[in-house]
Amino acid sequence: MLLVGTYALLFLVGPALSVAIESALRDPSNLGNTCTVPAGGSESIDDAPAILDAFNKCGQNGNVIFSNTTYYINSVMNITGLKNCLVDIYGTLMWSTDIDYWLNHSLPVGYQNQSTAWIISGDQVTVDGHGYGTLNGNGDVWYAFADGKSNYPGRPHALTVANTTDSKFQGLRFIRSQMWSLSIIYTQTTSFDSIYVNNTRSTGGAGQNTDGADTIYSSFISFSNWIVDNGDDAISPKANSTDITINDCTFYNGAGIAIGSIGQYKGVYEIIERVYANNIKFIGTLHTIYFKTWTGEQVGYPPNGGGGGLGHASSLVFQNMQAENLRGAAFAISQCTTFSGAAGNCSSSEFQLYDITFKSVSGTTLSNDVASFQCSAVEPCEDIAIIDESLVLSSNGSTANSYLCYEVEKPMGWECTGDACVGGTATGSC
């Protein structure tokens, strides 16, 4: 019965979301004032005040233009109250490397004690990077500073879209973001199209905790035509993310699409519902899709500690996935997430995962594990379907045939072949 509902979601939710978002976007052609942001021309001159002034003058029924030059951002920007505003970014915004400043002044995001360098908030906002408008976080200095420290307090996200409705962000490039490239919170009916993220170090490899995008308390959010090369989650729906679509994307080298982490706040009920992903390529990623919830016992406090949260993730469909040299299990669940080095009882989570479908995945993998599902004994995972899967080992072309599980009820289309590893993890498997 649940599977029937899932297939209805599979065919209806994705197209419906796209139509809803596009129909809600206002045509910005009939605008009033136009403000071209002047650039100081030197990293010693902070261009943030000029940017704030331009938005103050043209943020409502206006057009803000960043020229094809470099803007040096040495201080935080909190831009709110936008209305029917078109933002054209033709140049590069370059953030300073003054770590002490950012650790002490970055703006609270409103979740997990995370913070950000730039907040944009408003209604009927269109931000267009035209394929080359770039946000450069100078991330090399942050990757060296935060090496081994996952969620370092004060380390900022590059951009946070907060309290925004009926808006569109397109054609942007995020290069070496300080931490997460994009966080989306308290936002509805907004699309993010043709976005490029490269959070690799200039010396090779990728920075830690450099997610492409994370959604929090947001609904009807669409991601399409993304390319992400990073060292962590490509896109991650988190607490109270509903009606999220991810279409026609390519992800390199990171962990894959992450559901969560979630269940971090003791006694708080949160949900993730109606997430739909279609036509995704995963090249050298750890997983295609993985889930991470905290245990039922609180160990420490956010951003790196927590647990004891309540809720569920359900009505999730992931289909038409192509893999190349996956590094771990294609599909993974860990209900023992920790970032502090200490985990609670891995079988104690009260956050439930159910009605999840993985359909039509093919390609190559370095692991024989198609699935590794470590679920909670308190709230076991239910109704997980794996349909039309054809993964082969990169080493010899033989079929990947291991399905590991712990506390999974009513699997559909697959049978458990062994026990999943039970242990603290931040990446969906031991």
Active-site residue set: 232
User: Rounded distance, CA 105 to CA 116, Å?
Assistant: 9
User: Rounded distance, CA 351 to CA 263, Å?
Assistant: 6
Q: Is 223 helix (H, G, I), strand (E, B) or coil?
A: strand
Residue 21 amino acid letter? I
Closest among 251, 261, 241 to 309, alpha carbons compared: 261
User: Rounded distance, CA 372 to CA 375, Å?
Assistant: 10
User: Rounded distance, CA 5 to CA 276, Å?
Assistant: 13
332 CB-near residues (< 8 Å, 6+ apart): 287, 289, 290, 291, 371, 372, 373, 427, 428, 429
The single-letter DSSP state of residue 303 is T
User: Rounded distance, CA 130 to CA 92, Å?
Assistant: 12
Residue 130: both structure tokens together: 């035209």
| Cβ-contact 210, 199 below 8 angstroms | yes
**Which alpha helices (DSSP H) does 137-244 contain, by range?**
139-145
User: Rounded distance, CA 394 to CA 366, Å?
Assistant: 6
Q: Which residues pair with 237 in a beta bridge?
A: 215
Q: Is 139 helix (H, G, I), strand (E, B) or coil?
A: helix
User: Rounded distance, CA 262 to CA 248, Å?
Assistant: 26
